[in-house]
Amino acid sequence: MAIEFAWYMSCDGDSDHLGQKFADFPPSHDTFTRIAVNAEKSGFTTILVPTSQVSGHYGSTAPTWDSLINAAVIAPKTQTIKLLLAVRVGIIDPAICARMFASLDELSGGRILYNVVTGGGTLASYGEELEHDTRYERTEEFIQILDGIWKEDKFSFDGKFYRLKDASVYPRPVQKNGIPFYVAGSSEVAQDIAIRRGDYYVFWGQDPEQVSERVQHMEKKIKNSERTDPLRYVTRFQIYARETEKEAFDAAYEVLSQVDSEVQEHRGKMISSFESKGTKEQQYSYEDDMLAPNLWTGMSRIRSGSAVAIVGSYEQCAEKIIEIEKAGINLLILSGFPLHSECEIVGNHVIPIVREMEEKMGLISEEDRYFLDYAKV
């Protein structure tokens, strides 16, 4: 089964450099449309539209856009790319959230996916305080409600956090089986919910050996569960690819060459306050910024998650992606700044090499060929 590729669209704009007080290309219709259209043209099948109350890459007062608003902007401007929308549980009533997602699914012609976000990193800014496991209990109820409302004419639910009686929400999703759930989290409780309720399990990128260990751990848990259908796996990396390894590392370090000291201090304090196990795993302090060959951790100076980058020549990056694919990953979410142009580099120079390698290794099925041809339309 060939690996799928997704690109990332930051909620706080786009830039040639990270860690500045404001983005070079602030959040706007034009900024986000350019990223999405370029990613689609470059062969990416999915785009991750993140959520954050606070800026992810810039100063504390840099503006951010909501993922659902972003989806409404880019859906009419794209044709085939699926929109993976990250929305935090607890911020929106589940019945209202179900209607919003279904409306966007209709607007996009059935291209909406739900990245279920439970982590408490920025929930405090909304005035909420719930401990870790309790948040995940609520997340499970939230998913159950959305799934039920999308599939039943009148849906009732009596839970610890939510109660509904004969709820009926229209429109319904265009996708006949409802909108797929991408459940993220590194803790055991998060993994258990992904197994019970998720279609995909999402976790931050690490060394391929660690990725493989995570997938194998999940598969062992599935064997001891009541789940009967396969769970698919998603991971997330930065990427900087150039003709030579030196050019790639120069490009990666250039992105961090204008970090503002105040912004870095603010980001450090914010990251240290996060409870997320996955976020803490992404904070590295290697002298040479290297986790493994062609896996660079320099982004951890400014990013709270997805701090590992694949960096190297086009061939080296393709080889590393094949390693990640062999570790059990079905969907690889990538990003590099500036987002609007790095997606073109990856799409034009790295993905074709990956496909050639997969072909030689017999990893591309007939179903894959149809899917890959569709992605090029």
The CATH number for 247's domain is: 3.20.20.30
Task: State the alpha helices, DSSP H only, in the chain.
Answer: 29-41, 67-74, 94-108, 132-151, 188-197, 208-223, 245-255, 261-273, 277-281, 314-326, 339-345, 351-361, 366-375
**What is the structure's pLDDT at 157?**
98
- pTM, whole model, 2 decimals? 0.91
CA 200 to CA 207: how far, in whole Å? 20
SS (H, E, C) 318-376: HHHHHHHHHCCCCEEEEECCCHHHHHHHHHHHHHHHHHHHHHHHCCCCHHHHHHHHHHC
**What is the structure's pLDDT at 260?**
87
**What is the structure's pLDDT at 126?**
57
Q: Give the up-direction half-sphere exposure of residue 35: CA atoms within 13 A in the CB hemisphere.
A: 32
**What is the structure's pLDDT at 367?**
74
Structurally, the chain folds into a number of domains equal to 1
Which of these, 325, 330, 290, lies nearest to 311 by C-alpha position? 290
**What is the structure's pLDDT at 266?**
65
CA 161 to CA 82: how far, in whole Å? 31
Which of these, 60, 11, 5, 4, lies nearest to 35 by C-alpha position? 11
Q: Torsions phi, psi of 116, nearest 5?
A: -80, 115
Weakly modelled stretches of the chain, pLDDT under 70? 52-56, 120-128, 266-287, 304-305, 369-377
Which of these, 62, 49, 124, 50, lies nearest to 91 by C-alpha position? 124
pLDDT tens across 20-57, in order? Answer: 888 999 999 999 999 999 999 999 999 999 986 554 57
Which of these, 328, 347, 335, lies nearest to 310 by C-alpha position? 335
**What is the structure's pLDDT at 21?**
87
**What is the structure's pLDDT at 376?**
52
**What is the structure's pLDDT at 130?**
80
**What is the structure's pLDDT at 281?**
52
Reading the block at residue 91, the tokens are 């911020």
**What is the structure's pLDDT at 303?**
73
**What is the structure's pLDDT at 370?**
64
**What is the structure's pLDDT at 377?**
45
Task: Quote the domain boundaries for residue 52.
Answer: 4-375
